[in-house]
Structure 1
Amino acid sequence: MKILIFLAFCVHLSAADTHSYRYFYTAVTSGINFPEFTLVGLLDGVEFEYYDSNIRKYIPKTEWMKKNEEPGYWNGQTQIAQGAEESFKVTVATAMQRFNHTTGVHTVQLMYGCERDDDGTTRGYLQYGYDGEDFVGLDLKTKTWIAPTPQALITKNKWEKTGAEANYWNGYLEKECIEWLNRHLSYGRETLEREDPPTASVFQKHSSSPEVVCHATGFFPKTVMITWQKDGEDVHDDVDLRETLPNQDGSFQKRSILTVSAEDLQKHTYTCVIQHSSLEKEMVLHVRERRNGGGGGSGGAPIGIIVGVVAALVALAGVVGFLIWKKKRSGETSTGFQTVPQNSSPPSDDDSSSNNSNTKECPPA
């Protein structure tokens, strides 16, 4: 659950005119039914490449990546990811020592990436987490490391002695990351810029439950607005808007839960309003019409929605990784956390290099 919480906290919605390029790494202590190391890449919220310590291979997750990247790319990325896996084992042990943890399940996560608006504005970000909480992050404006806990001060002080790590990340996130974003976006533009309208329903979890759920699924792109109205006026209180989750087919789903008494439902007209770029006009669903039948009013969520939610949680659990650099920089092992960003070699069509310039290099943990 902490893995999912960390991801939900880190991954925010991208606007329709913004393209995002993110990587997640997650290392977990052994002994649970989950890969000890997971790496995933997301382009505009869509998982497009993946590695974990069970399969031990870096693989494409979309047809457009499989079609456009050569075998050398995947072989090179597999070697890098395997090196990252070993690096993160050390990182987990170091983090546990910092927090005086000797047993139990613990996680170390790394999230970084960049975004580009259609007007050319770009942004970058980087954040480490331990057990679902912020550990250390980079402030790109000041090129300093933020340590929200005392346990992270060793890492912060180590990295700020010369400023090399912050400068390196700054250069990567401002330039190379954007180059890779543009490269992979060109492969998947037709898919990533499509517009699929949502399918929506309103239902109660149980016939006697005060919670009414408005659920939208199957939409793309990711950004969607779900709001509630009472007699035509917006309702903001007693509303629980959930995170947007991925479906297995690459589309998304989202739900909003309104807590309202049976008396109010009888006296007033409640509606769920859904807005999405694929819709010519907003979608309006009336609660009262659904309350006594139809979309699961007396029996909870329809089975299709339940299956979709489970599938989305499985997909989200896979979104817990990131590529790491296989080159260990001298003097950094004392902190247990090392940084050199992914894609440190910019995209190139020149295959003469022995290191394969089309292979991305990634940061040690």
Structure 2
Amino acid sequence: MALRFWLAGVAFLLLVEPGRAFPSGTKGPPALGSSSHSVHYFSTAMSEPNQGFTKYIAVGYVDSQLFNHYDSITRRVQPRAPWMEKMVEEEDPEYWERNTEVEQDNEHRFRRNLAILKDRYNHSGGFHSLQRMYGCELRVDGSKRLYRQEAYDGRDFIALDTETLTWTAAIPKAQITKEKWEKDPAIAQRWKAYLEGECLEELQRFLDYGRESLLRREPPVGKVTRMFLSEGREMLVCQAHGFYPKEIEATWRKGGEIMEQDTFRRSVAPNSDGTYHAWLSIEINPKDRDLYRCHIDHAGLTEPLVLAWEAPSGHVGAIVGIVLGVLVALLLMAAGIAFFRRRQQEKAKY
């Protein structure tokens, strides 16, 4: 399970869960039209060339919404969602202070552990990072997913198997860490107890207080466009935008048959307003164009959207013709004025 960690700026662009979404621009099955919810925490320590200290940053997300932030400059855990401040005020006034102390301790631990790994890899300079990702997910069917894993320089290093309470070394150099941690079973036990206890409890509290934004339903708006490729080939592109939550199911169908093997899709990506957009395309023979439909299903829809490519209406063509006619008239008028002025100037010279 590859970790998709950010290195600079700690940007979590589309909250892509490991192993749950396809990389941008790949073929694969559509996302499920469910609405699971999750809490994700990301911590990163970064050492940079010619810098005298290691930077540290930690963030927390509920689904795709950032709710807290800590860095080595402010050295404080700070709210990033309005509903979070309300929850702390009403239920847990010590939340920020308590978690600030935790992250300050984590900052020291990460710096020390990053130094250990740099020494193990014989890395004396350059840019290096140690990252941790952990959290819990509650799926729509009631099942849960727990995880805790780490990466060095952006590559998988070690992960906890929460079922067997053992550690999986992704690379040979992680074997030393695996053996050390498995000598102390309490490490894995504490993590599992937190993930299946406090983490899931926090998730429920977050959803209760952030209900207005986290549990909202915004249906997708869809359209189909056409692109010429070559003689006898064209591409139909189905676009869905402005939807929330992120999960959406979209397929191309020909005569009712799902054409998954021929579909090229991009991962669901976030918009600046907190909604999402997605698109999928298919290469076809223009003669079969009328047989293709794009099916979109989402929690915000009462029934699936079924879209086909539609030629521009006559009204659009008429409007375009009028606009072009006006532009031509203006150009002719400008040319006439320029000619008249030039003639007047020539007369003045004589």
> TM-score, normalised on structure 1?
0.67
Q: Residues 5 and 61 of structure 1: is their aligned pair in 2 closer, same or farther, counting only changes over 3 Å?
A: closer
Note closer, same or farther for the CA distance 1:284–1:207 as it changes in structure 2 (3 Å cut).
same
Q: Structure 1 residue aligned with 2:18, among 10, 13, 16?
A: 10
* Distance change >3 Å, CA 131–CA 214, structure 1 → 2: farther
State the distance in 1 between where 2:179 and 2:14 align: 25
Cα distance in structure 1, aligned partners of 2:265 and 2:163: 31
Candidates 172, 186, 193, aligned match of 1:171: 193
**Root mean square deviation, CA, Å:** 3.3
Partner of 1:182: 204
**Matches of 2:143 and 2:80, distance apart in 1:** 28
Q: Is the 8 A contact 1:22 1:113 kept in 2?
A: yes
Query: Which residue type is aligned with residue 251 of structure 1?
Result: T
**Which structure carries more relative contact order (alpha carbon 8 Å, separation 6+)?**
1
Aligned to 1:276: 298
The one of 132, 137, 144 equivalent to 2:154 is 132
| Aligned AA (1:30) | E
Deviations 1:320-364 (A, max 9, x none): xxxxxxxxxxxxxxxxxxxxxxxxxxxxxxxxxxxxxxxxxxxxx
Matches of residues 136-155 of structure 1 in structure 2 within 5 Å? 136-155=158-177
Q: Name whichever of 189-198 and 6-15 sits farther off.
A: 6-15
State the shift of 1:208 in Å: 4.7
For residues 148 and 281 of structure 1, the distance between their equivalents in structure 2, rounded to whole angstroms, comes to 44
Report the CA distance shift for 1:26/1:12 in structure 2 as closer, same or farther (over 3 A). Answer: farther
The alignment covers a number of residue pairs equal to 285
Distance 2:249 2:150 in 1: 30
> Do residues 40 (structure 1) and 59 (structure 2) align?
yes
SS at match of 1:268: helix
Q: Tell me the secondary structure at the aligned position of residue 286 of structure 2.
A: helix
How high is the sequence identity, in percent, across the aligned residues? 39
Q: Could you say what secondary structure the match of 1:190 adopts? A: helix
Aligned partners of 1:67 and 1:85: how far apart in 2?
A: 27
**Alpha-carbon separation, structure 2, partners of 1:256 and 1:132:** 29
Deviates more, 1:5-14 or 1:226-235: 5-14
Which residue does the alignment assign to 2:286? 265
Pair member with larger Rg? 2
Match of 1:67 in 2: 86
Structure 1's 124 and 244: CA in aligned 2 closer, same or farther, altered over 3 A? same
Cα deviation digits, residues 300-336 of structure 1 (max 9, x gap): xxxxxxxxxxxxxxxxxxxxxxxxxxxxxxxxxxxxx
Note the 1:1-365 alignment, pairs <5 A: 3=6, 8=16, 10=18, 12=20, 16=34, 18-30=36-48, 36-70=55-89, 72-117=94-139, 121-203=143-225, 208=229, 212-258=236-282, 260=283, 264-269=285-290, 270-287=292-309, 289=311
Contact 1:229/1:271 (<8 A) preserved = yes
Residue 109 of structure 1 and its aligned partner are, at CA, apart by 1.9
Distance 2:128 2:286 in 1: 45
Compared with structure 1, are the counterparts of its residues 253 and 38 closer, same or farther at alpha carbon in structure 2 (3 Å cutoff)?
farther
Gaps of 5+ in 1: 295-365
CA distances 1:127-164 after superposition (whole Å, capped 9, x unpaired): 11223332111111111001121010111000001211
Displacement of 1:62 in angstroms is 1.8
Residue type at the aligned position of 1:197: P
State the distance in 2 between where 1:128 and 1:159 align.
13
CA deviation map 1:64-86 (0-9, x unaligned): 11222136422433343233233
Separation in structure 2 between the aligned mates of residue 50 and residue 256 of structure 1, nearest angstrom: 34
